[in-house]
Chain A
Amino acid sequence: MKKYILLIISTLAISICNAQQVSVSVSVAPPYTPYMLDYVFSAGKLTLQIKNNTRQIQQIKLVGSIIGDNGLWVKTKPNFQPTKPIILNPNEIKIFKNWQELQDFFDGNNVEYSEINVEAIARNGFPEGTYNICIRALDFVTNSLLSFDEPLGCSNPISIRYVEPPVIIFPKDEEIINIANHQVLMFNWSNVIGLARGVNYTFKLVELPDEEVNANAYIESVTIPLFEQKNIRATTLIYGNNMPILKSNKKYAVRITAFDSEKKVAFLNDGHSFVTTFICK
């Protein structure tokens, strides 16, 4: 019995000892978009640091996984073997920011998937969820694990959400609004869906030089709008007599932009709503 215990302890000690030989750390810069597949090919988004903790040269290969809290996973195939090893000199630290330099361990041919519709993911991105990208270093020849197993060697949690920009409810696009006798105008938009709190809105109103001007291009170009208010927490803006006067027979364009005060979430269309125009009569 003692023999068995000793054997188990020594095996464990050896494997822990092996696992410390190389340390791997992964970090992903926010904001996170649903197109995680693009990360792999996008330089600068993901940083990988590998450190040789030993005084020997290590010949390693990397394997990885993307695991979501929604049951979805993508992993490098166990039999993945790159053509050449990554060589780490004693105590050397290597930082990879450009994935082109790395081996194709997330390449379509070298990965296996959970029961997911790969085509749908390739077509429309990953479903909403919280994901971790984990990378481990293996000995190039023996396949033995040289770095710590998960959760070490994993990135910070990547929260993927489809956060839609606000939708302007009032006024309706191309609406004709009566402003006779200083009528007050009530602008109203829907709350951002997909983000519980911390949303601020910017309201931008411009006067179009004529009715044929493209409101989308114009509102983007104008640096001094007729009226702009930032950091609005509510979903209503009452345009009253304390604001610049609107003129009759003029066309105006309005856009609401949502901001995440914590700057963690990527809004679709950069948080800009559809540009709505209206004519004052």
Chain B
Amino acid sequence: MKTIIFTFVFSLIFTKIFAKDSTQNKVDSVKIKVDSVKTVEPKLTISGDLTISTGYYKMSGLDAPRGQFNPYGISGKLMLKSKNWIVPISMIYSSQNNSFRQPYNQVGSSPLYKNWLVLHGGYRNVYFSPFTLAGHTFLGSGIELNPKKFRFGFIYGKFNRAIEGNFAEPDRIPFFKRTGFASRIGVGTKINYLDLIVLKVADDVNSISLSPDYKYIKPAENLALGISARLKIKKKFSFELDGSASAFTRDIRTEAIGEFVNIRFYDAIKKVFIPRVSTQLSTALQSAIGYKSKVFSGKIQYKRIEPEFKTMGAYYFQNDIESYTFNPNLSLFKSKLKLNTSIGLQHDNLLNQKKVETNRLIGSAAIVYAPNENFSMDFLFSNYGITQKAGYLPLIDTLKIAQNNKTLSLNSMYMKIGESNMQTFMVSAIYQELQDLNSRTAIFNENQNWNYNASYSFQNLISNFDFSLNYSYTLTKSIDIESVFHGPTCSISKLFLKNNNLTLRSNFGYMLSKQTILDFQEKGNVLNLSSDVSYTFFKKNTLSLNWSLIKNKGLQDFSENRGTIEYNLTF
């Protein structure tokens, strides 16, 4: 398989490189024709790019997984365009570990016809709504139709492939083959619509030979029904609604509830989905109202996701949460002064299953002041506060979590633009603190972090020479650990040759470190070097070499060496 891919890729590259002259002639002839008959458009245009990269990785001083490794990867995109069709094809391949339930190596395409028909084939991430099919990768096919006011979508495919367990590789987690479909039907356009969605995905028990004693992976099944609506009025007002009810069976080998409990309409229900002892039914809902004008924009959002709500069409998201969020933003003095704020209230324990209820108050405010194009300044404050109150049981004060996670940051930039060069001065300061309001746990949890940064950069637009110098100081403090890293970083880049087709870029960083753990103190340093060279030839071919080294001396001595070589073809 690898040989075939390589043969294909290299033949494509060499054909492209050596066919340059003839292609150029063709392009010229097309150009002449275009000049003489300007209205004629090519029937089919082909564009795309292809990248092949390989590299080495060497780590010494720390244990696995940072071993020696030489992964190679190929990624490419091909775009075919005609009057009515747009066919984008994407491909990615790597020799990196291939034993995961969703392979790294993927090829897929979603051709679009006249803006109302989309076909899907291969590895795709299709999005129907956040609580049903929400971009989970699948290998399969599908169709989406939106002629006039009718909306329809259907996909079918493999959501995870079967992975057999293997004693020789204990990290290889077995997994059942997971297949299913999702469908939506609705009315409206791409901007304003109302959709009803169904998703049914299940594991195939017989897809792998798993010992009945194996307790970590169980064959599961999911049926989710959802609704999704969007509405925009006069480009100023917007409304969003997404809701879903999801029945999730953790183990399809468990007994059906209908065998010992009377369920209404069971005969009809079991044809679609059999509720079992390990089936969980939960709901999720989110809704938002927004307003947008030149001066003010704002959004009010409500979200309620029941504990352990999940669907097989989405990756993990936070659940057992009810939240209210308000984001008012102001833009004043012709956008010279911007104020972006957000405040949110969250709590968990929606079904009173937890011993304690956790409340979160999340707020942030950012002021951005940019009176002219040479100067800008921004200030940010944010707080992520957590408090708890009694849930299922009375709350013991000593175990109560009450924390504030605060961040303050200030950035300032001044730019001096000359006729041929540009100079930039930047300073920034960040302070971050985890404050524990419970005096009994504060000593273990509290920590503070400071970072100060100052930098200068020079850019010559004629000689295409860039230079920057930066000094950074970082201090981290917690109960028994204190660490300081500080030092300069310098980077240089320059374009060479007649057409600027040779680029050299280099970074040099040297940090001094001092780490104190209890009474033990260790001084050290970190050397961070990297270099890039890239050369563009025949206009569309670029060859890049990259090398980087991190050498750390101190509490943990290690060195990490990486190198990559990359070839890119654009056509």
Q: Please, what's the 1-or-0 string for A228-241, where 1 marks a CB less than 8 Å from any CB in chain B?
A: 10000111101011
A37-B278, A38-B277, A241-B511 known; A272+B251 contact, CB < 8 A: no
Once the chains are docked, how many angstroms separate the CA of A165 from the CA of B476? 24
Residue pair A240, B104 in contact (C-beta under 8 Å):
no
B180 contacts the other chain (Cβ, under 8 Å)? no
A90 contacts the other chain (Cβ, under 8 Å)? no
A194 to B, closest residue via Cβ: B354
A142 contacts the other chain (Cβ, under 8 Å)? no
Instruction: Return A49 CB to nearest CB of chain B, in Å.
Output: 17
Number of interface residues of A (CB under 8 A): 75
A191-B403, A193-B358, A233-B478 known; A220+B102 contact, CB < 8 A: yes
- Contacts of B430 on A, CB cut-off 8 Å? 184, 186
- Contacts of B528 on A, CB cut-off 8 Å? 241-243, 245
Once the chains are docked, how many angstroms separate the CA of A245 from the CA of B490? 12
Once the chains are docked, how many angstroms separate the CA of A43 from the CA of B382? 48
A129-B355, A235-B434, A236-B432 known; A181+B509 contact, CB < 8 A: no
A64 contacts the other chain (Cβ, under 8 Å)? no
B457 contacts the other chain (Cβ, under 8 Å)? yes
Residue pair B455, A182 in contact (C-beta under 8 Å):
yes
A144 contacts the other chain (Cβ, under 8 Å)? no
Once the chains are docked, how many angstroms separate the CA of A165 from the CA of B315? 14
B99 to A, closest residue via Cβ: A221
A74 contacts the other chain (Cβ, under 8 Å)? no
Residue pair B255, A41 in contact (C-beta under 8 Å):
yes
Q: Please, what's the 1-or-0 string for A183-214, where 1 marks a CB less than 8 Å from any CB in chain B?
A: 11010101101101100000000000110111
Residue pair B308, A108 in contact (C-beta under 8 Å):
no
Residue pair B407, A170 in contact (C-beta under 8 Å):
yes
A113 contacts the other chain (Cβ, under 8 Å)? no
Residue pair B453, A184 in contact (C-beta under 8 Å):
yes
A124-B280, A196-B441 known; A162+B103 contact, CB < 8 A: no
B541 contacts the other chain (Cβ, under 8 Å)? no
Q: Please, what's the 1-or-0 string for A110-145, where 1 marks a CB less than 8 Å from any CB in chain B?
A: 000000000010111111110000000000000000
Residue pair B96, A242 in contact (C-beta under 8 Å):
no
Main DSSP-derived SS at the A contact region = loop
Residue pair A124, B308 in contact (C-beta under 8 Å):
yes
Once the chains are docked, how many angstroms separate the CA of A243 from the CA of B526? 9
Instruction: Return B108 CB to nearest CB of chain A, in Å.
Output: 10
B516 contacts the other chain (Cβ, under 8 Å)? no
A56 contacts the other chain (Cβ, under 8 Å)? no
Residue pair A162, B353 in contact (C-beta under 8 Å):
yes
B7 contacts the other chain (Cβ, under 8 Å)? no
Residue pair A275, B444 in contact (C-beta under 8 Å):
no
- Contacts of B316 on A, CB cut-off 8 Å? 165, 216, 269, 272, 274-275
A98 contacts the other chain (Cβ, under 8 Å)? yes
Residue pair B550, A242 in contact (C-beta under 8 Å):
yes
A44-B215, A224-B66, A236-B432 known; A129+B392 contact, CB < 8 A: yes
Pairs A–B under 8 Å by Cβ, sample size 5: A167-B318, A184-B428, A228-B66, A240-B472, A242-B550
Beyond A167-B318, A181-B426, 19 additional pairs, beta carbon < 8 A: A35-B250, A38-B278, A41-B251, A44-B213, A124-B351, A128-B353, A128-B354, A182-B509, A184-B472, A184-B474, A186-B451, A193-B348, A197-B444, A220-B101, A234-B447, A235-B405, A242-B552, A244-B550, A245-B548
List the 4 closest pairs (A to B, CB-CB), nearest first.
Answer: A181-B455, A242-B526, A216-B315, A217-B102
Binding site for A on B (CB under 8 A): 57, 65-66, 69, 71, 73, 75, 77, 90, 92, 96-97, 100-104, 125, 135-137, 212-215, 218, 250-251, 253-255, 257, 260-261, 277-282, 306-308, 315-320, 348, 351-355, 358, 360, 382, 384, 386, 391-393, 399, 401, 403, 405, 407, 424, 426, 428, 430, 432, 434, 441, 444-445, 447, 449, 451, 453, 455-457, 468, 470, 472, 474, 476, 478, 481, 485, 487, 489, 491, 507, 509, 511, 513, 526, 528, 530, 548, 550, 552, 560, 562
